[in-house]
């Protein structure tokens, strides 16, 4: 109990720092670009245009309302890969600070994930624009849209914590992870329908956490349906598992970081 209170106290104390780091990340990201934050919006839009052109004319998938199908999957996955990649190098990147002052170290991966999350929120505007442009019907279910975003946020925090620990011990992780995200992207139904996957491995793909999150997001935004129970339980389970594993691993290893960075 005492420890929990101390922990909360620490959270409160370093909340400002978390905010500052997020701000700094965002500032650094769009420094000296003319359009600045607008890029968070334009990027997914332009990507969506390119990909819908490619996949509508070259590989034909019969997916109704393909632009939305694409952009919903794409912003979720982009967020995940960007935030975890950034979180991975966060501890290494802040080595100079960690070596000199005491700061709770989980602040670094978490701040990176949060700054990506801000970008994701900007990208939601792109989804709205596409929805308006394609005249997608809007149902009351849409108020649930933050739910899948929370899933992917929590999951990314957990994965980011794990990666930041691994990267401290093995710098190779940073290179290897790029390959992993690419493979992961192709194993997630972002630009193809889930029915394009062979029957035998479909249940396996459906256990893929990102597939679950994206499915839930599409159910809510695109199809105006509630995501099923199984989806909800599995999603929450993944989030919880990622957070617990990441949190425990990070907690155990953070004392040793300083010896390796």
Q: Please, what is the minimum distance in Å from the beta carbon of residue 147 to other proteins?
A: 17
Segment near other proteins (CB under 8 A); pick from 42-50, 131-139, 145-153, 202-210? 202-210
Report the greatest alpha carbon distance in the chain: 62
Computed from CA positions of residues 131, 132, 134, 135, in that sequence, does the dihedral angle turn out positive or negative?
Answer: positive
The answer to whether residue 125 forms part of the interface with other proteins (CB under 8 A) is no
Instruction: Count interface residues toward other proteins (CB under 8 A).
Output: 43
Which one of 170, 183, 194, 196 is in contact with other proteins (CB under 8 A)?
170
Residues in region 36-75 near other proteins by CB under 8 A: none
Neighbours of 40 (CB within 10 A): 23
Scanning 32-40, 135-143, 195-203, 212-220 for contacts with other proteins by CB under 8 A, the matching segment is 195-203
Write the CB contacts of 72 (distance below 8 Å, at least 6 apart in sequence).
127, 214, 217, 218, 221, 222
Task: Report the nearest approach of other proteins to the CB of residue 228 (Å).
Answer: 8
Asked if 230 is part of the footprint of other proteins (rule: CB under 8 A), the reply reads yes
17 lines the binding site for other proteins (CB under 8 A): yes
Residues 6+ apart with CB under 8 A from 124: 75
Q: How far is CA 211 from CA 115, 169, 177, 187, 219, in A?
A: 23, 30, 19, 8, 12
Told to check if 179 binds other proteins by CB under 8 A, we report no
Q: Give backbone dihedrals phi and psi of 191, rounded to 5 degrees, phi first.
A: -110, 0
Which residues lie near other proteins (CB under 8 A)?
Answer: 1-4, 13-17, 19-20, 24, 96-103, 169-173, 176, 200-201, 203-204, 207, 228-230, 233, 237, 248, 254-256, 258-260
């Amino acid at each position: 109990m005492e420890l929990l209170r101390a922990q909360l106290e620490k959270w409160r104390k370093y909340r400002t720092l978390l905010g500052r780091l997020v701000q700094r990340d965002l500032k650094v990201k769009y420094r000296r670009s003319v359009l600045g934050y607008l890029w968070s919006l334009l990027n997914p839009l332009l990507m969506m245009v390119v990909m819908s052109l490619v996949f509508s004319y070259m590989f034909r998938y019969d997916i109704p309302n393909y632009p939305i199908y694409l952009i919903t999957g794409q912003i979720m996955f982009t967020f995940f890969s960007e935030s975890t990649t950034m979180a991975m190098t966060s501890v290494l990147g802040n080595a100079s600070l960690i070596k000199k002052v005491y700061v709770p170290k989980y602040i670094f991966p978490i701040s990176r994930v949060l700054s990506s999350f801000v970008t994701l929120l900007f990208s939601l505007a792109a989804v709205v624009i596409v929805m308006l442009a394609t005249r997608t019907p809007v149902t009351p279910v849409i108020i649930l849209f933050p739910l899948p975003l929370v899933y992917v946020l929590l999951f990314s925090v957990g994965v980011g914590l794990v990666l930041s620990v691994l990267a401290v011990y093995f710098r190779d992780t940073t290179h290897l992870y790029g390959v992993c995200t690419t493979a992961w992207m192709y194993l997630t139904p972002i630009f193809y329908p889930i029915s394009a996957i062979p029957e035998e491995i479909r249940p396996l793909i459906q256990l893929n956490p990102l597939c679950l999150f994206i499915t839930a997001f599409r159910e809510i935004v695109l199809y105006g349906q509630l995501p099923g129970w199984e989806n909800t339980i599995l999603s929450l389970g993944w989030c919880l598992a990622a957070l617990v594993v990441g949190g425990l691993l990070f907690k155990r290893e953070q004392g040793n970081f300083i010896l390796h960075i």
